[in-house]
Amino acid sequence: MTSSKTGHITRLLEAHRQGEEAAFDQVVEALYEELLLLAHRQRHGAPRDATLNTTGLVHEAYVKMANGTHLDWNDRSHFLGVAAQAMRQISVDYARSRFRAKRGGGAQHVELHEEHLKIEAQLEKNLAVDTVLEELRESNPRLVKVVECRYFAGMTEEETAAALDISVRTVRRTWSKAKEELKSRLQPSR
């Protein structure tokens, strides 16, 4: 992204902070392709026929962010980081609703194929990771944000560093610690 476009995004975010509501839509329009990429990474491994597709995830995040109270996005990276967090929350809510349905809500017999079983396993893993993150949110918010960016949004170390306004080295260190923490909390006791 060019620095002039980045500057334009920052100016639009400032205008939005000042109460210019149309500026938010302009930011989303300018970053739409990047938001689609975030959503695509977020949905990695999800079924193609799922009711929440990539475009739907972007639109749900738009609604969540537009209706939210978070008006102080600093710049493009910060905005994308918040969008990634919104997408994670939406994906987790979607997974929870699928599991409720799977356990009998609106029961309908569906034949499961190997691909569906893999998807269900990934959804279960995502829910387990989300549970651990909620437990860690108060004691280690940076670790949680790094996991949101790296695991749920599929961001690179550099993208994560920019989104969180920390160094790449800090991202690496925190990501390493996060993986150890998740592994220890998610592995069944022996």
Model pLDDT, residue 148? 87
Stretches in the chain below the pLDDT threshold 50: none
For residues 130 and 126, give the distance between their C-alpha atoms in angstroms, rounded to a whole number: 6
Token pair, residue 165, equals: 């306004």
Model pLDDT, residue 139? 95
For residues 154 and 151, give the distance between their C-alpha atoms in angstroms, rounded to a whole number: 5
Model pLDDT, residue 35? 92
Decide if 75 contacts 121 (C-beta within 8 A). no
As separate numbers, helices (DSSP H) first and strands (DSSP E) second, the chain gives 9, 0
Model pLDDT, residue 21? 84
Model pLDDT, residue 186? 86
Token pair, residue 129, equals: 């990771």
For residues 90 and 13, give the distance between their C-alpha atoms in angstroms, rounded to a whole number: 23
Residue 188 is given by DSSP the state P
Task: State how far the alpha carbon of 182 is from the alpha carbons of 94, 150, 188, in Å.
Answer: 22, 13, 12
Model pLDDT, residue 101? 63
Model pLDDT, residue 39? 87
Q: Is 145 helix (H, G, I), strand (E, B) or coil?
A: helix
pLDDT tens figures, 5-54: 778 999 999 998 898 889 999 999 999 999 988 888 877 656 555 667 88
